[in-house]
Amino acid sequence: MKKVLVVDDEPYMRSLIADYLNEIGSFQTMEAGDGTKALEMFKKEKPDLIFLDLLLPEMKGYEVMQKIEEEDQDVDVIIITAVGQKQIMKDCIEAGADDYMLKPFNKEDLELKLKDYI
């Protein structure tokens, strides 16, 4: 069973993504609401895939992603954001993100994205 960490400061968004993942397939989902908790869970659980919001309290998603990449370059990180600026997405990909998804998205969008990584 693949482990997926969902990191977003909005509980509704975390829950929605986790529900979509459970409808799509057999995933062990974990949730974190801030960057500090995300890094703790990453180190403890070693997820296969991370959905990471850019705008988080305490530590921004970009910083979280850099710390994750320093520890494990094999983990797939997909940025989720409502900010669709191309330069921000380009910077994230160059810093180690594997892909990105713009909010809002639906279950079908998520399923298509997962095919590339799971």
pLDDT in tens, 70-111: 999 899 999 999 887 788 888 888 888 999 999 999 999 999
Q: Measuring CA to CA, how many Å separate 105 from each of 45, 70, 81, 108?
A: 26, 29, 10, 8
* Buried-state track 57-81, b at ≥16 Cβ within 10 A, e below 16: eeeebbebbeebeeeeeebbbbbbb
Q: Give the pLDDT confidence of 17-34 residue by residue, as tens digits.
A: 999 999 999 899 999 999
Q: Which CATH architecture has domain 2-114?
A: 3-Layer(aba) Sandwich (3.40)
The set of residues, in sequence order, having a beta carbon less than 8 Å from that of 118 and lying 6+ positions away, is: 2, 25, 27, 48, 49
Model-level pTM?
A: 0.94
